[in-house]
A and B are shown apart, each in its own frame.
Chain A
Amino acid sequence: MSASVLVLYAHPRPETSRVNQAMAEAVRDLGNVEVRDLYALYPDFDVDVAAEQKVLAAADLLVFHHPLQWYAGPPLLKEWIDRVLERGWAYGDGGTALRGKRVLSAVSTGGKEAAYQHDGFHHYTVPDFLRPYERTATLCGMKFLEPFVFHGSYTASESEIHAHAESYRTHLAALQERLSKGEA
Chain B
Amino acid sequence: MEQQGLLLNAFYFLAAAVAVVPFARRGGLGSVLGYLAAGVLIGPYALGLVANSEDVLHFAEFGVVMMLFLVGLELEPAKLWRLRVSILGMGGAQVVGCTLVIAALGVAFGQTWEAGLAIGMALSMSSTAIALQILNERHVLGSTAGQSTFSVLLFQDIAVIPILAILPLLATGALDVPVADAVEHADAAGPAWLRALTLISVVVGIVLAGRYALRPVFRFIAGSGIREIFTATALLLVVGIAVLMQTIGLSPALGTFLAGVVLANSEYRLALESDIEPFKALLLGLFFISVGMSIDFGVLAAHPWMIAALVVGVIAVKLVVLMSVARTFGLQGEPNLLFSLLLAGGGEFAFVLFQFAVTEGALDPATAGALVVVVALSMVATPLMMLALDRMAPLWRGSVVKRAPDVIQPEGHPVIIIGYGRFGQIVGRFLSANGVGMVILDNDPDHIDVLRKFGVRAFYGDATRLDLLESAGGDTARLFVVAIDDKDKTVETVRAIRTRFPHAKVFARARNRDHVYELWSAGVTLARRETFDSALHVGREALVALGEHPFAARRRARLFAAHDEQMLTEGFAVRDNEESLVKIARQSRDQLEKLVAIDKGTAKLEKDDGWGG
The distance from the CB of B254 to the nearest CB of chain A, in whole angstroms, is: 49
Is there an interface contact between A87 and B610, defined as CB atoms closer than 8 Å?
Answer: yes
Is there an interface contact between B606 and A88, defined as CB atoms closer than 8 Å?
Answer: yes
- Among candidates B558, B562, B606, B609, residue contacting A82 with C-beta atoms closer than 8 Å: B609
Number of interface residues of B (CB under 8 A): 8
Confirm or deny: B138 has a beta carbon within 8 angstroms of a beta carbon on chain A. no
List of A residues within 8 angstroms of B611 by Cβ: 82
- For chain A, residues 110 to 142, give those with C-beta under 8 angstroms from any C-beta of chain B: none
Distance in angstroms between the alpha carbons of A134 and B609 in the assembled complex: 19
Encode contact with A along B557-577: 1 for CB under 8 Å, 0 otherwise: 010001000000000000000
List of A residues within 8 angstroms of B606 by Cβ: 88
Confirm or deny: B82 has a beta carbon within 8 angstroms of a beta carbon on chain A. no
Is there an interface contact between A87 and B608, defined as CB atoms closer than 8 Å?
Answer: yes
- Among candidates A44, A46, A86, residue contacting B608 with C-beta atoms closer than 8 Å: A86
List of B residues within 8 angstroms of A82 by Cβ: 609-611
The distance from the CB of A89 to the nearest CB of chain B, in whole angstroms, is: 6
The distance from the CB of B337 to the nearest CB of chain A, in whole angstroms, is: 39
List of A residues within 8 angstroms of B607 by Cβ: 86-89
Distance in angstroms between the alpha carbons of A120 and B609 in the assembled complex: 37
Confirm or deny: A83 has a beta carbon within 8 angstroms of a beta carbon on chain B. yes
> What is the chain A residue whose CB lies nearest that of B610?
A87
Distance in angstroms between the alpha carbons of A83 and B605 in the assembled complex: 13
Distance in angstroms between the alpha carbons of A88 and B607 in the assembled complex: 5
Is there an interface contact between B609 and A83, defined as CB atoms closer than 8 Å?
Answer: yes
The distance from the CB of B604 to the nearest CB of chain A, in whole angstroms, is: 12
List of B residues within 8 angstroms of A92 by Cβ: 608
List of B residues within 8 angstroms of A44 by Cβ: 558
Distance in angstroms between the alpha carbons of A88 and B562 in the assembled complex: 24
- Among candidates A46, A83, A89, residue contacting B562 with C-beta atoms closer than 8 Å: A46
List of B residues within 8 angstroms of A86 by Cβ: 607-610
> What is the chain A residue whose CB lies nearest that of B559?
A46
- For chain A, residues 54 to 99, give those with C-beta under 8 angstroms from any C-beta of chain B: 82-83, 86-89, 92
> What is the chain A residue whose CB lies nearest that of B611?
A82
Distance in angstroms between the alpha carbons of A151 and B562 in the assembled complex: 40
The distance from the CB of A124 to the nearest CB of chain B, in whole angstroms, is: 26
Distance in angstroms between the alpha carbons of A89 and B609 in the assembled complex: 10
Q: Can you identify 16 A-B contacts, CB atoms within 8 angstroms?
A: A44-B558, A46-B558, A46-B562, A82-B610, A83-B609, A86-B607, A86-B608, A86-B609, A86-B610, A87-B607, A87-B608, A87-B609, A87-B610, A88-B606, A89-B607, A92-B608
Known: A46-B562, A89-B607. 12 other contacts (CB 8 A): A44-B558, A82-B609, A82-B610, A86-B607, A86-B608, A86-B609, A87-B607, A87-B609, A87-B610, A88-B606, A88-B607, A88-B608
